[in-house]
């Protein structure tokens, strides 16, 4: 601080006040999306996981294409070969190349994960938003149905469906979606109901904004976060369930490959050829870890209040 | 000596992801025995942070970067947490803004009062209960026996605030810091709580630091007032003098913005503009950007305190000899 | 409270009804009976009819359904299709011991370790122990328990020979499977407690407690831990699901004669009555756990008591 006597007398004149600057907001304006992205970028673990996931997805797309072996190609001369320059991850009991099989399997697992999440999202969001937007009796009935369904342990239904329907990817996806959408529907309904009563939506309504506009401008942008974040957690759980079903022998069947099938296969010969279990196990663990950390990161970045 | 607390050149920084916020920038004040000092200012002026730093209850990202806080001859701003624990709740206690969230919802009222007695006294269980009931009675809670066993959610907001005051006063503190104690309450309850605090000061030897943005509260209870703006104290005076003869344009603005019942004015008067961003505090007077009478010097450097009378200080360049030629039309 | 429980019981009955019906009709749609292997088709037609009659498979579907519901209400699940002459209820009671032992051990271990890790992590937020807990929490939910069980079996059992790898001989046989099952429980609880406690530590009443002059440890134990542990009851349901799911694979890996391995075997052998019985018993158990946890929670937490009182 300057001593007051050192200050020149000339300064004691009226300053020009810039009227428009009085209300200026100094910090840059950020949309919720930009703000979230900045926060996500600071989360190094989440960004790292995003990269690993991209690499895994690329590998699962292209590795089987560029490999000189096909995932179903058997060669009885080279059964149980340890990892070598020729077969990077070794070969299994039928002499199939594990590298090709793992990435093909990862592809199947990822497809199942994404498809189940998408179906979940589609059914759940429709059900939830219809229930919340229409309200009244419809909402009550729809909620009662959900309350009955929520008590059913998912796994039981999935297993029963897997036994009834013909084995295959579509069956698994359908079985997962039939049980999975309930959660999404509840989340979406809760979020919309919460928003409907919030001041800024009420304000928009008072200002005469039409329902359509309110849905477009307020409800959708503020619900997308919840939906995406929930879907991010559905994907690994679907991948896990598929692997689990295949492991206990009611998921996909050989020679089709998913990470679960490969792990099951590897487990049969674990005693002598542990690498047949360890390689697919590492890949599935990587996928699960990355989705889980990325999901957490997204949630923290885009919706800190949802942290619970 | 009459002085119980002396704060000198207190600076508090809050770390955020965008940089340090200089929430409090060199404030000094003192508190006398049995005196009620009100610190007034709008949200974000740093008043709450200042008193939290006295108790060393700043959030984890906040720290006292400079200055001293003298209590009974010791600079308590340098105290370790362990030493501070003996002061909190017994010598200096604090009550908070929101009575709905300031009590532990899973613990009975009695237990929450006993906690503070257990820490600072050597009372037996029976003595603690007796003291708890006594103090509940003192803060005007009817049937304290019943309330003693109840949980916070069974009490109304006003009653909870009384309980919080009871906890704060249980050990006869020398200083009671009240951080907006009435803001979250209904207007009728506000008056009750203020009356309670006033009567308690008279009964006990307690000095009060009252944080508020409500000048009505100030007029009701305070002996002296400190006006805070942008992390700085801009004016201090006795309550009467401040209301009669405000010197700082910000104080004048605040007083003008009190709605008056006896006048016909239809419009509420407000001070245009927003408080400065304390991430990048202005080098001059923090109020310069909103002041009606801004001088060039105001934007260049922070004014010092001009002594108006014995107890009245104001930091405004308009009070300088060299600004005499400027007419202040308001 | 009473009204609330009645309402919940009504939903439970409805849910169970949906489960019963779904189970029955899905089972009816199943391709083939356990008797459709070669031996069965070699039987003369009258013998086939006899066998079908013995299991009540020759009657119209709705009669079968009514009989089925009637029997289940009496607690009879019929005869096992595979273990001829054995009542499914008997098979289940015979098998439940090992599953309960392993499951209970896993829950106990998971609770203890999870609570300790979660509390330490929140207390020492952003320190080594916090990062360690986060890693455990992420890995615990990411490593499928059957993979973990297989790896534990391979390394600890086979390679180092520390613990028995399979067969149900003594208590030591239950250690590895219990650990394998508990890891995800540890992760769930540690993570839950950590988040809950970090939230509680932000609450105003924590500052009030500090302003009373309580020591850090007292604030932590008397206010933060206490208030964050209560909601753990709410994730008991998901934990039960987790243990059950895990047990299907883990019991198979360690050859434990429990419900999980029975279930998987029944699926492989199309033993309908056993599958149905396990589905229904497990669902009923799950629903009961959810009800009990909700009621318990409202009894323990005074805040919740208020809400249910208002709802009445």
Q: CB distance from B210 to chain A under 8 Å?
A: no
Query: Do C219 and C281 belong to one domain?
Result: yes
Residue C83 lies in a domain: no
Interchain proximity A160–C196, CB inside 8 Å: no
Tell me the mean pLDDT in the region B236-245. Answer: 88
For testing contact with chain A, the best of B230, B292, B297, B304 (most A CBs within 10 A): B297
Q: What does the alpha-carbon distance between residue A206 and residue C122 come to, in Å, rounded to a whole number?
A: 44
- The dihedral region occupied by B44, where left means phi > 0, alpha psi between -120 and 50, and beta the remainder, is left
Q: CB distance from C146 to chain A under 8 Å?
A: yes
Query: Do C10 and C111 belong to one domain?
Result: no
Give the pLDDT confidence of A173-184 residue by residue, as tens digits.
Answer: 888 888 888 888
Give the pLDDT confidence of B247-260 residue by residue, as tens digits.
Answer: 888 888 888 877 76
Instruction: Assign residue C260 the CATH number of its domain.
Output: 1.10.3720.10
Q: How many domains does chain C have?
A: 2
Which residue segment(s) compose the domain that C296 sits in? 96-311
Query: In the sheet that B207-212 helps form, which strands lie side by side, from edge to edge?
Result: B92-95, B175-179, B207-212, B36-40, B224-229, B232-238, B312-314, B306-309
Q: What is residue C54's predicted lDDT score, i.e. its pLDDT?
A: 66
Q: What does the alpha-carbon distance between residue B184 and residue B202 come to, in Å, rounded to a whole number?
A: 25
Interchain proximity B273–A23, CB inside 8 Å: yes
- Give yes or no for a contact between C133 and C117, defined as CB atoms under 8 angstroms apart: yes
Residue C81 lies in a domain: no
A12: chain B residues, CB-CB within 8 Å = 295-297, 317, 320, 322-323, 325-326
- The dihedral region occupied by A208, where left means phi > 0, alpha psi between -120 and 50, and beta the remainder, is left
Neighbours of C13 (CB within 10 A): 12
Query: Which regions of chain C are under pLDDT 50?
Result: 306-312
Query: Which regions of chain A are under pLDDT 70?
Result: 1-9, 15-33, 71, 77, 80, 87-88, 95, 303-308
Q: By C-alpha distance, which of C118, C177, C173 is closest to C149?
A: C177
- Give yes or no for a contact between A33 and B317, defined as CB atoms under 8 angstroms apart: no
Beta strands in B92-173 (DSSP E): 92-95
Interchain proximity B323–A12, CB inside 8 Å: yes
Distances in Å between the Cα of C167 and the Cα atoms of A267, B236, C98 are 17, 83, 11
Q: Does a cis peptide bond (omega within 30 degrees of 0) precede residue B43?
A: no
For residue B68, is pLDDT > 70? yes
Residue C120 lies in a domain: yes
Q: What does the alpha-carbon distance between residue C263 and residue C195 come to, in Å, rounded to a whole number?
A: 36
Give the side-chain half-sphere CA count within 13 A for A111: 15
Residue C88 lies in a domain: no
SS (H, E, C) B52-71: HHHCCCCCCCEEEEEEEEEE
- Give yes or no for a contact between B109 and B148, defined as CB atoms under 8 angstroms apart: yes
Task: Give the gap in angstroms from C-alpha B324 to the nearest C-alpha of chain A.
Answer: 9
Instruction: Find tokens 């970028």 and name the residue.
Output: A41
Q: Please, what is the average pLDDT of chain C? A: 80
Q: What does the alpha-carbon distance between residue A42 and residue A46 come to, in Å, rounded to a whole number?
A: 9
Query: Do C58 and C122 belong to one domain?
Result: no
- In DSSP notation, chain C reads -HHHHHHHHHHHHHHHHHHHHHHHHHHHTSSS-TT-SHHHHHS-HHHHHHHHHHTT-SS-HHHHHHHHHHHHHTT---B-SSSTT-BHHHHHHHHHHHHHHHHHHHHHHHHHHHHHHHHHHHHTTTSHHHHHHHHHHHHHHHS-HHHHHHHHIIIIIIIS--S--SS--SGGGGHHHHHHHHHHHHHHHHHHHHHHHHHHHTSHHHHHHHHTT--HHHIIIIIIIHHHHGGGGGGHHHHHHHHHHHHHHHHHHTT--SHHHHHHHHHHTT-HHHHHHHHHHHHHHHHHHHHHHHHHHHHH-HHHHHHHHHH-
- In DSSP notation, C114-134 reads HHHHHHHHHHTTTSHHHHHHH
Q: Does a cis peptide bond (omega within 30 degrees of 0) precede residue A255?
A: yes
Task: Give the gap in angstroms from C-alpha A60 to the nearest C-alpha of chain C.
Answer: 20
Give the pLDDT confidence of C275-293 residue by residue, as tens digits.
Answer: 888 888 888 888 888 888 8
For residue B1, is pLDDT > 70? no
Q: What is residue C112's predicted lDDT score, i.e. its pLDDT?
A: 92
Query: Do C133 and C54 belong to one domain?
Result: no
Query: Do C283 and C173 belong to one domain?
Result: yes
Q: What does the alpha-carbon distance between residue A168 and residue A284 come to, in Å, rounded to a whole number?
A: 20
CB-nearest to B119 from C203, C214, C226 is C214
Give the pLDDT confidence of C187-209 residue by residue, as tens digits.
Answer: 989 988 988 888 888 888 888 88
Q: What is residue C113's predicted lDDT score, i.e. its pLDDT?
A: 93
Q: What does the alpha-carbon distance between residue A192 and residue A131 come to, in Å, rounded to a whole number?
A: 10
Query: Do C174 and C246 belong to one domain?
Result: yes
By three-state DSSP, how is residue B312 classified? strand
Q: What does the alpha-carbon distance between residue B85 and residue B254 come to, in Å, rounded to a whole number?
A: 37
SS (H, E, C) B228-247: EECCEEEEEEEHHHHHHCCC
Q: CB distance from C309 to chain B under 8 Å?
A: no
Instruction: Find tokens 């919740």 and name the residue.
Output: C304
Q: What is residue C117's predicted lDDT score, i.e. its pLDDT?
A: 92
Interchain proximity B299–A15, CB inside 8 Å: yes
Q: By C-alpha distance, which of B63, B121, B60 is closest to B91?
A: B121
Query: Do C201 and C233 belong to one domain?
Result: yes
For testing contact with chain B, the best of C122, C204, C212 (most B CBs within 10 A): C212
Q: What chain A residue is nearest to C192 in terms of C-alpha separation?
A: A308
B156 confidence band (pLDDT: 50, 70, 90): confident
B295: chain A residues, CB-CB within 8 Å = 11-15
Query: Do C167 and C50 belong to one domain?
Result: no
Residue B75, token pair as written in the block: 């600079």
Interchain proximity C212–B88, CB inside 8 Å: yes
Query: Do C210 and C279 belong to one domain?
Result: yes
Instruction: Find tokens 């809670």 and name the residue.
Output: B141
Interchain proximity C227–B85, CB inside 8 Å: no
Interchain proximity C227–B104, CB inside 8 Å: yes
Query: Do C18 and C147 belong to one domain?
Result: no
Residue C57 lies in a domain: yes
- Give yes or no for a contact between B162 and B189, defined as CB atoms under 8 angstroms apart: no
Q: What is residue A15's predicted lDDT score, i.e. its pLDDT?
A: 67
Q: By C-alpha distance, which of A219, A279, A241, A206 is closest to A117?
A: A241
Query: Do C52 and C102 belong to one domain?
Result: no
Task: Give the gap in angstroms from C-alpha B282 to the nearest C-alpha of chain A.
Answer: 12
Residue C87 lies in a domain: no
Instruction: Find tokens 């009935």 and name the residue.
Output: A141
Share of residues in chain B with pLDDT > 90 (%): 4
Share of residues in chain B with pLDDT > 70 (%): 95
Tell me the mean pLDDT in the region B293-321. Answer: 82
Q: What is residue C56's predicted lDDT score, i.e. its pLDDT?
A: 65
Instruction: Tell which B residues from 111 to 170 touch C, by Cβ distance under 8 Å.
Output: 115-116, 119-120, 151, 153-154, 164, 167-168
Q: CB distance from C223 to chain B under 8 Å?
A: yes
Instruction: Find tokens 């810091």 and name the residue.
Output: B177
Q: Which residue, of C17, C40, C73, is where some domain finishes?
A: C73
Residue A24, token pair as written in the block: 């200026």
Q: What chain A residue is nearest to C146 in terms of C-alpha separation?
A: A244
Q: ipTM value, please give it.
A: 0.84
The set of long-range contacts for C287-290, using a CB threshold of 8 Å and a minimum separation of 24, is C287/A151, C287/C12, C287/C15, C287/C16, C289/C236, C289/C237, C289/C240, C290/A151, C290/C237
Report domain A108-303's class.
mainly alpha
Predicted structure pTM score: 0.80
Query: Do C196 and C264 belong to one domain?
Result: yes
A285: chain C residues, CB-CB within 8 Å = 139, 142-144, 147
Q: CB distance from B90 to chain C under 8 Å?
A: yes
């Amino acid at each position: 601080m300057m001593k007051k006597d050192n200050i020149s007398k000339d300064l004691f004149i009226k300053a020009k006040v810039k009227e428009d600057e009085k209300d200026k907001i100094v910090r840059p304006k950020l949309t919720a999306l930009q703000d979230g992205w900045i926060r996500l970028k600071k989360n190094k673990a989440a960004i790292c996981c995003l990269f690993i996931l991209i690499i895994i997805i690329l590998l699962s797309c292209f590795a089987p294409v560029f490999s000189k072996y096909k995932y179903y190609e058997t060669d009885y001369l080279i059964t149980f070969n340890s990892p070598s320059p020729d077969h990077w991850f070794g070969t299994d009991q039928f002499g199939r190349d594990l590298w090709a099989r793992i990435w093909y399997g990862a592809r199947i697992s990822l497809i199942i994960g994404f498809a189940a999440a998408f179906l979940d999202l589609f059914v759940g969001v429709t059900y939830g938003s219809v229930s919340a937007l229409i309200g009244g009796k419809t909402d009550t009935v729809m909620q009662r149905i959900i309350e009955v369904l929520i008590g059913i342990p998912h796994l039981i239904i999935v297993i029963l469906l897997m036994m009834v329907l013909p084995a295959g990817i579509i069956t698994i996806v359908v079985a997962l979606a039939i049980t999975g959408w309930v959660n999404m529907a509840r989340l979406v309904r809760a979020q919309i109901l919460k928003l409907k009563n919030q001041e800024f939506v009420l304000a928009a309504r008072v200002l005469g904004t039409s329902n359509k506009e309110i849905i477009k401008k307020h409800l959708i942008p503020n619900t997308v976060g919840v939906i995406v974040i929930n879907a991010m957690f559905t994907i690994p759980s679907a991948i896990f369930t598929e692997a689990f079903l295949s492991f206990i022998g009611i998921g996909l069947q050989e020679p089709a490959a998913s990470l679960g099938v490969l792990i099951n296969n590897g487990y049969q010969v674990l005693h002598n050829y542990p690498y047949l279990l360890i390689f697919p196990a590492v890949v599935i663990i990587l996928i699960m870890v990355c989705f889980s950390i990325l999901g957490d990161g997204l949630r923290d970045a885009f919706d800190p209040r949802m942290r619970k | 000596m009459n002085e119980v607390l002396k704060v000198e050149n207190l600076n508090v920084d809050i770390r955020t992801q965008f940089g340090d916020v200089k929430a409090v920038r060199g404030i000094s004040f003192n508190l006398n025995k049995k005196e009620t000092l009100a610190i007034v200012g709008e949200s974000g002026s740093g008043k709450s942070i200042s008193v939290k730093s006295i108790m060393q209850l700043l959030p984890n990202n906040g720290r006292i970067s400079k200055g001293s806080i003298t209590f009974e001859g010791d600079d308590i701003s340098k105290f370790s947490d362990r030493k501070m624990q003996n002061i909190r709740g017994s010598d200096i206690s604090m009550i908070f803004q929101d009575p709905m969230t300031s009590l532990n919802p899973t613990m009975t009222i009695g237990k929450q009062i006993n906690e503070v007695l257990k820490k600072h006294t050597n009372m037996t269980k029976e003595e603690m209960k007796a003291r708890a009931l006594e103090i509940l009675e003192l803060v005007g809670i009817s049937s304290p026996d019943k309330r003693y066993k109840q949980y916070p959610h069974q009490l109304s907001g006003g009653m909870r605030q009384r309980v919080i005051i009871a906890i704060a006063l249980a050990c006869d503190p020398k200083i009671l810091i009240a951080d907006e104690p009435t803001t979250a309450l209904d207007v009728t309850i506000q008056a009750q709580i203020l009356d309670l605090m006033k009567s308690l000061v008279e009964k006990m030897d307690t000095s009060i630091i009252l944080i508020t943005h409500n000048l009505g509260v100030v007029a009701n209870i305070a002996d002296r007032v400190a006006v805070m703006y942008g992390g700085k104290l801009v004016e201090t005076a006795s309550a009467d003098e401040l209301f009669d003869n405000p010197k700082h344009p910000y104080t004048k603005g605040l007083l003008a913005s009190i709605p008056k019942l006896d006048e016909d004015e239809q419009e509420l008067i407000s001070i245009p503009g927003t408080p400065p961003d304390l991430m990048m505090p202005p080098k001059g007077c923090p109020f310069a950007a909103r002041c009606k009478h801004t001088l060039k010097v105001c934007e260049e450097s922070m004014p010092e305190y001009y002594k108006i009378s014995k107890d009245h200080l104001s930091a405004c360049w308009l009070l300088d000899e060299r600004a005499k030629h400027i007419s202040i039309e308001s | 409270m009473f009204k609330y429980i009645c309402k919940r019981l009504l939903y439970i009955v409805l849910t169970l009804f949906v489960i019963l019906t779904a189970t029955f009709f899905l089972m009816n749609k199943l391709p083939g009976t356990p008797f459709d292997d070669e031996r069965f088709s070699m039987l003369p037609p009258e013998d086939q009819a006899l066998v079908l009659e013995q299991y009540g498979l020759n009657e119209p579907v709705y009669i079968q359904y009514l009989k089925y519901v009637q029997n289940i209400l009496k607690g009879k699940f019929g005869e096992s299709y595979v273990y001829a002459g054995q009542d499914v209820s008997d098979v289940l009671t015979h098998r439940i011991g090992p599953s309960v032992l392993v499951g209970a051990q896993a829950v106990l271990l998971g609770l203890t370790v999870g609570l300790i890790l979660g509390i330490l992590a929140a207390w020492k937020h952003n320190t080594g122990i916090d990062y360690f807990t986060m890693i455990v929490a992420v890995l615990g939910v990411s490593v499928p328990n059957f993979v973990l069980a297989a790896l534990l079996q391979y390394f600890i059992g086979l390679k180092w020979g520390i613990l028995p790898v399979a067969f149900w001989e003594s208590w030591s046989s239950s250690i590895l499977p219990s650990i394998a099952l508990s890891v995800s429980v540890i992760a769930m609880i540690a993570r839950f407690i950590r988040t809950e406690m970090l939230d509680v530590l932000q609450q105003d009443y924590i500052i009030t407690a500090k302003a009373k002059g309580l020591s850090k440890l007292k604030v932590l134990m008397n206010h933060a831990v206490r208030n964050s542990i209560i909601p753990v009851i709410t994730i008991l349901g998901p934990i039960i699901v987790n243990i059950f799911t895990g047990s299907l694979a883990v019991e198979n890996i360690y050859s434990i004669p429990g419900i999980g391995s029975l279930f998987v075997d029944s699926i492989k052998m199309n033993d309908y009555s056993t599958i149905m019985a396990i589905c229904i018993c497990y669902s009923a158990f799950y629903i009961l756990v959810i009800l009990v946890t909700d009621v318990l929670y409202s009894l323990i937490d005074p805040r919740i008591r208020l809400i249910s009182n208002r709802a009445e």
